[in-house]
A and B are shown apart, each in its own frame.
Chain A
C-alpha cells in the first residue's frame, strides 16, 4: 500500500496566486481529511469528506479556501487568492469510516511570499 499520496511536497508562490494541493487517499478508505499545521496553532482540521461528500467544513478559514472530492481516489484543496498567513504544512489523511484509524500523508509545505 502506497499510503496517502500528496502533491506537491513543496510549493512556493507569490501572494495573490492560486494554489492547488492534491491528495490521493488509501484505496478503500471512504473518509478523507484536510489538516493544516502551524507552529502557533498546531494541527487543525479544515474539512472532511465521507464517501466523497463534504461533511464538516467548519474549519475552513475563509472563502478563499475550497476543497473538492470528485471521486473516491482524488481530492483537492484550493486557495485563491493566497496570502502569506496561509503558509503552513497541509496534510491530507484518510480512514475507513467506523474503524477510527486515520492515516496521514507526508504533507505539502506551502510558502506564500
Chain B
C-alpha cells in the first residue's frame, strides 16, 4: 500500500462548477500537507500548504485536512478552463526535513 493514495481520475467538470480533489495517507508521522498543480510538460508548482487540521483558503482554492481520518482535500470554486491540470497532493513529516511523499496526481479538465 502506498503511503499517499490519490484517485488518478481523469475528472472532467463544466466551467463554474465546484471541484473536489482528495487524498488519503497512512503515515501518522505526516504533519504538513501540500497541493501542487502541474500543467502539461511543466514541473509541479506549489498551490497551497497547511500543517494543521482544518481549512485554509486562498482565493478560489480551499485546502482541508482531517488528521483523525488521514484525509486531505482541495476544493476549487468557480472553476476555470485555466485550472485544467494535474493536481498532486504531498505530505511531509516536519519542516526541518522537506522530504515529501506525493500522490500519483489527479488529472482535471474544466470544460468551457
Which chain B residues border A4 with CB–CB below 8 Å?
Answer: 43
Whether A91 pairs with B95 at a CB distance below 8 angstroms is: no
CB distance from B69 to the nearest CB of A (A): 22
Q: By DSSP majority rule, is chain B's interface helix, strand, loop, or mixed?
A: strand
For B43, give its contact among A41, A56, A101, A105 (CB under 8 Å): A105
Q: Tell me, yes or no, whether B58 is within 8 Å of chain A by CB.
A: no
Q: Which of A12-20, A71-79, A80-88, A92-100 contacts B (4 or more CB under 8 A)?
A: A92-100
Which chain B residues border A109 with CB–CB below 8 Å?
Answer: 41
Type the 1/0 row for B94-108, where 1 means its CB is closer than 8 Å to any CB of A. 011011111111000
Q: Tell me, yes or no, whether B25 is within 8 Å of chain A by CB.
A: no
Whether B45 pairs with A42 at a CB distance below 8 angstroms is: no
Interface set, chain A 29-59, CB cutoff 8 A to B: 31, 33, 41-45, 48, 56
Closest to A101 in B: B46
Q: Tell me, yes or no, whether B75 is within 8 Å of chain A by CB.
A: no
Closest to A93 in B: B43
Whether B45 pairs with A100 at a CB distance below 8 angstroms is: no
Which chain B residues border A41 with CB–CB below 8 Å?
Answer: 104
Q: Tell me, yes or no, whether A106 is within 8 Å of chain B by CB.
A: yes
Which chain B residues border A43 with CB–CB below 8 Å?
Answer: 44, 88, 102, 104-105
Whether A97 pairs with B44 at a CB distance below 8 angstroms is: no
Whether B95 pairs with A98 at a CB distance below 8 angstroms is: yes
Type the 1/0 row for B35-69, where 1 means its CB is closer than 8 Å to any CB of A. 01000011111100101000000000000000000
Whether A104 pairs with B43 at a CB distance below 8 angstroms is: yes
Q: Tell me, yes or no, whether A113 is within 8 Å of chain B by CB.
A: no
CB distance from A89 to the nearest CB of B (A): 9
CB distance from B27 to the nearest CB of A (A): 14
Q: Can you list 21 A-B contacts with CB-CB less than 8 angstroms, sorted by A residue number?
A: A42-B102, A42-B103, A43-B44, A43-B88, A44-B102, A45-B99, A45-B100, A45-B101, A48-B98, A91-B43, A95-B98, A97-B96, A97-B98, A98-B96, A100-B32, A100-B49, A102-B46, A102-B100, A104-B43, A106-B43, A107-B42
Residues of chain B whose beta carbon lies under 8 Å from any beta carbon of chain A: 32, 36, 41-46, 49, 51, 88, 92, 95-96, 98-105
